[in-house]
Amino acid sequence: MTPQPTNSNTRPKTLMLVASGGGHWVELIRLRPAFEGHRQVYVTTTTGYESDVEGHAYHVVPDANRWNKLRLMWLVVRLLFLLLRVRPDVIVSTGAAPGYLAMRMGKWFGARAVWVDSIANVEELSLSGQMAGKCADLWLTQWEHLTTPQGPHCQGAVL
Amino acid sequence: MIFVTVGTQLAFDRMVLTVDQWAQQQGRGDVVAQIGFEAKRPSHIQWVEHMSPQECERHVSECELLVAHAGTGSIFSAMQHRKPIIIMPRRASLGEHRNEHQLATAKHFAAKAHVIVAWDEQELVDYLSHPEKVKVGTDFTPYAEPSLTQAIRAFIDGGV
């Protein structure tokens, strides 16, 4: 008889899954087979997608960018609160700015981070995607021609 | 009903007003448009600035034809509801977006999923007048390519 693998690495982990509303969200939920068996906490920028992820936690954060400082600060506060409460092992984001910030701040608490740059970014990585390269442990583009030896890498697309 | 959507944020007057003018000429009273904020007002078709995701989904599910900017959200939505869609890329050169990524998105979806692209206003009018040319995008799975989900799954499982 083959002994059962005693690999503690496959214990269920807590995942924080972050995507802004619109295309980013659709791309994130298309990745769901990667999340099965783990505790999934979804974070987005609008209400209305709850039914896509029934049975999982769902949080809304402000949609901010670096041009709106006040909203950005509010976003940082909300993310900090969520990160402290959820304590994710892994953060996965398909963009945009809130996902990048969640990853960057999540690193302070020891989370590992996956960035999947949106399939919409065909000619160059998004700005968030470029910045994500500095803090993502797995840094992916969906376009082979945007890969470089130093990353991002390409493992396929959401379509 | 024909549903026109500019996506979540920016106005896209060139597309909306082209449909508006066409609908007026054709006497179509069943066109609904989500036009974005600070958009030029259509004179003929019904419009709203903003829709919640549920409202947008409902309109997609009820429409016979979707006309949308070349945003991935709109394209995926049409494919999931198996609706014919015409996409029109926003052009940064006309101040319709920050960069030209929608041109590339449109090219990609045209090649990979046979989505119909109206590259300019005239093409949009042609497709509106000949909706039989607009087919539903190719068979569509609800999930990403397995290579991608497996890579992410391996990463998640791999850490301590």
> Which residues does chain A have within 8 Å of residue B145's beta carbon, measured at their own beta carbons?
156-159
Mean per-residue pLDDT, A77-105:
97
Q: Is the dihedral of CA B62, B9, A18, B146 positive or negative?
A: positive
**8 A C-beta contact, residue A34 and residue B150:** yes
A window 17-56, beta carbon within 8 A of B: 21-27, 30-35, 38, 46-49
Question: Is the CB of B142 inside 8 Å of chain A's CB atoms?
Answer: yes
CA distance B121 to B117: 11
Beta bridge partners of B47: B33
Instruction: Look at A30 and B143 and tell me if their CB atoms are within 8 Å.
Output: yes
Q: What is the pLDDT of residues A53-64, one digit of tens each?
A: 999 999 999 998
CA distance B19 to B128: 8
B window 106-125, beta carbon within 8 A of A: 107-109, 112-113
Residue B35: count other Cβ atoms within 10 Å of its Cβ. Answer: 24
Helices (H), chain A: 23-29, 69-86, 97-108, 127-132
> Which residues does chain A have within 8 Å of residue B146's beta carbon, measured at their own beta carbons?
33, 156
pLDDT greater than 90 at residue B100? no
Question: Is the CB of B7 inside 8 Å of chain A's CB atoms?
Answer: yes
Instruction: List the single best residue of B75, B76, B117 to mutate versus A (max A Cβ within 10 A).
Output: B76
Q: What is the pLDDT of residues B115-158, one digit of tens each?
A: 899 999 999 999 999 999 997 766 567 899 999 999 999 999 98
Task: Name the more confident of B40 and A120.
Answer: B40
Q: What is the pLDDT of residues A9-33, one digit of tens each?
A: 568 999 999 999 988 999 999 999 9
CB pairs under 8 A between A and B: 126
Question: B148 CA to chain A: closest CA distance, Å?
Answer: 5
Instruction: Look at A155 and B148 and tell me if their CB atoms are within 8 Å.
Output: yes
Domain boundaries, chain B: 2-158
> Which residues does chain A have within 8 Å of residue B114's beta carbon, measured at their own beta carbons?
none
Beta bridge partners of B88: B69
Global confidence as pTM: 0.72
Residue type at position A139: W
Instruction: List the single best residue of B107, B114, B149 to mutate versus A (max A Cβ within 10 A).
Output: B149
Distance of CA A32 to the CA centre of its chain: 12
pLDDT greater than 90 at residue A139? yes
Res. A2 pLDDT band, cuts 50 70 90: very low
List the CATH code of the domain at B2-158: 3.40.50.2000
**Burial B1-10, CB ≥16 within 10 A → b, else e:** ebbbbbbbeb
Instruction: Return the closest-CA partner of residue B90 out of B2, B35, B10.
Output: B10
Confidence (pLDDT) at B35: 97
Instruction: Label residue A95 exposed, middle or buried (CB < 10 Å: 0-12, 13-18, 19+).
Output: buried
Confidence (pLDDT) at B80: 77
Domain annotation for chain A: domains and CATH numbers:
11-154 (3.40.50.2000)
